[in-house]
Amino acid sequence: MDVAPDLLRRARKFALRAGLLAAAAPVAVAAAMTVTDAVRRRMHPLTATFPTEKPLTEHVEDTTTTIYTYGADLYDAMLEAIRGARHTVMLETYIWKDDTVGRQFKQTLIDAAARGVKVYVVVDGFANLVVPRSFFNFPPDVHVLRFPVFRPGMLALNVRKSGRDHRKILVVDDRVGFVGGYNIGSMYATQWRDTHIRLEGPAVWELRNAFVDFWNRQRTGRLPQLTDVGSDTWLPHLRAARNAPSELVFPIRGIYLDAIDRATSHVYITQAYFIPDHDIHDALLAAATRGVDVRVLVPHRSNHVVADWLARGLYTSLLRGGVRIFLYQDAMVHAKTATVDGRWTTIGTANIDRLSLTGNYEVNLEIVDPALAARMEDVFRLDLTNARELTIEQWERRSGLAKVGEALLSPLRPLL
């Protein structure tokens, strides 16, 4: 009797079961963590007060820039801009809550359209699945593009059909523009530490162009096409880097790598979800090795527990390599910012993780200006007053169970 075929079948069956178990384990652990964290967040919500800076203004040639680190201040400025609109309002957001702040934005847009302003709105369908669809019903003179949850090609893993619209942009009259990490909602107004920037002047074209390109590529036949006006102003030291999966363009990752590679003094990074890929991870370690002061500020506890645990899986190598990690306390820090050597700054919508850097539609401003960088470094130092540094000695004393959890979840890192 020839037993070889039977043994081969058994081996294949065993390998299949082992593979399924290996794939299921991290998903099961992630699901259990998510449920447990949801209970914990109900019992211990992230509602503590935190230090904030008043809006900070600098000038980059003919463009005035203002940094916002408190949501209520930002929303006041955005609503004021919409109320003063005479010609156009272009608003793009990832999450838009049906709450007091969300309804205020909705009504202000409706009022603008009623007085003859052309209003265009982009909202991500997936991010707002928990928001009643009726909330996004506007009068016909408000043009709404709901970026669809599912698109043809997604199930076939077509990269051009992947990604969410994670951007947050407001452009009014081609004169004033806003971009940054803030979504729209009452919770973000007072309970989250985030960063947005306001532009007034020629550089607003960078944000207008980002909105128009996305609108024209994604609109359906019922929505009007927007005019691409071009720009006679070139500011190589203030530009928008735009990730666009449909065009296979992902420059934000590149600007981070280039800036970190240039660093000779210091790198200050603030991130909500910090899961760097191999190249960014190695670039940070290389910078620390050559004597650069590399500091990363992240939430001690974010609103996505799985992202927290995936980030922690990289802490050992980063801390041993000289990267300093600071944990923001008792509140969610959601900013996506960095400064390098007191000259280079980025502010925008992209996290340092796979979803943002090689997946979603994102936009980050890249600004080379010492005065603005100094302002952002002041913000970073203020944030550190509400953070504690995680040392390698403290980290290596974590429980064995924590180490097992990090190992089990590590296969999910390429997905997030």
* Separation between Cα atoms, residue 101 and residue 397, nearest integer Å: 43
Q: Mark out the alpha helices in 313-363 (DSSP H runs).
A: 315-320, 354-358
Distance of CA 412 to the CA centre of its chain: 19
166 is catalytic: yes
403 is catalytic: no
**Residue at 20 is within a domain:** yes
List the structure tokens of 210: 């980002």
| Claim to verify: residue 361 and residue 396 sit in the same structural domain | yes
Q: Which of 76, 304, 341, 403 is catalytic?
A: 341
CB 280 within 8 A of CB 256: yes
Q: Which of 106, 166, 196, 300 is catalytic?
A: 166
| Claim to verify: residue 356 and residue 208 sit in the same structural domain | no
Q: Which of 124, 300, 334, 369 is catalytic?
A: 334
C-alpha distances out from residue 52 to 55, 316, 380, Å: 9, 31, 11
Give the mean pLDDT of 178-207: 97
Check residues 143 and 150 and name the one with the higher pLDDT.
Answer: 143
Residue type, 332: M
| Claim to verify: residue 306 and residue 341 sit in the same structural domain | yes
Closest CA to 65 of 173, 180, 166: 180
| Phi, psi dihedral angles at 38 (to 5 degrees) | -60, -40
Question: Percentage of residues in the chain with pLDDT exceeding 70?
Answer: 85
| Claim to verify: residue 228 and residue 196 sit in the same structural domain | yes
Closest CA to 106 of 98, 114, 118, 94: 98
Q: Which of 168, 194, 196, 300 is catalytic?
A: 168
Question: Residue 20: which pLDDT band, with cuts at 50, 70 and 90?
Answer: very low
**Residue at 73 is within a domain:** yes
Q: Which of 336, 353, 369, 383 is catalytic?
A: 336
| Claim to verify: residue 132 and residue 215 sit in the same structural domain | yes
The DSSP string of 81-130 is HHHT-SSEEEEEES-B-SSHHHHHHHHHHHHHHHTT-EEEEEEETTTTTT
Q: How confident is the model over 96-112, as pLDDT tens digits?
A: 999 999 999 999 999 99
| Claim to verify: residue 260 and residue 324 sit in the same structural domain | yes
| Claim to verify: residue 320 and residue 205 sit in the same structural domain | no
Domain-ending residue, one of 172, 203, 236? 236
Check residues 22 and 371 and name the one with the higher pLDDT.
Answer: 371
| Claim to verify: residue 88 and residue 5 sit in the same structural domain | no
Q: Which of 73, 76, 99, 173 is catalytic?
A: 173
Question: Residue 221: which pLDDT band, with cuts at 50, 70 and 90?
Answer: confident
114 lies in which domain range? 56-236
| Claim to verify: residue 343 and residue 210 sit in the same structural domain | no
**Residue at 105 is within a domain:** yes
> Between helices 400-409 and 4-43, what is the axis angle to 10°?
120
The domain that contains 145 carries what CATH number?
A: 3.30.870.10
* Separation between Cα atoms, residue 345 and residue 270, nearest integer Å: 11
pLDDT attached to residue 48: 74
165 is catalytic: no
List the structure tokens of 286: 């290389």
**Residue at 51 is within a domain:** no
Q: What's the chain's Rg over C-alpha atoms?
A: 23
278 is catalytic: no
Q: How confident is the model over 316-355, as pLDDT tens digits?
A: 999 999 999 999 999 999 999 999 999 999 999 999 999 9
Classify strands 118-124 and 142-147 as parallel, antiparallel or unpaired.
parallel
| Claim to verify: residue 329 and residue 352 sit in the same structural domain | yes
- Domain count for the chain, please give it: 3
| Claim to verify: residue 207 and residue 297 sit in the same structural domain | no
**pTM across the whole model:** 0.90
CB 216 within 8 A of CB 226: yes
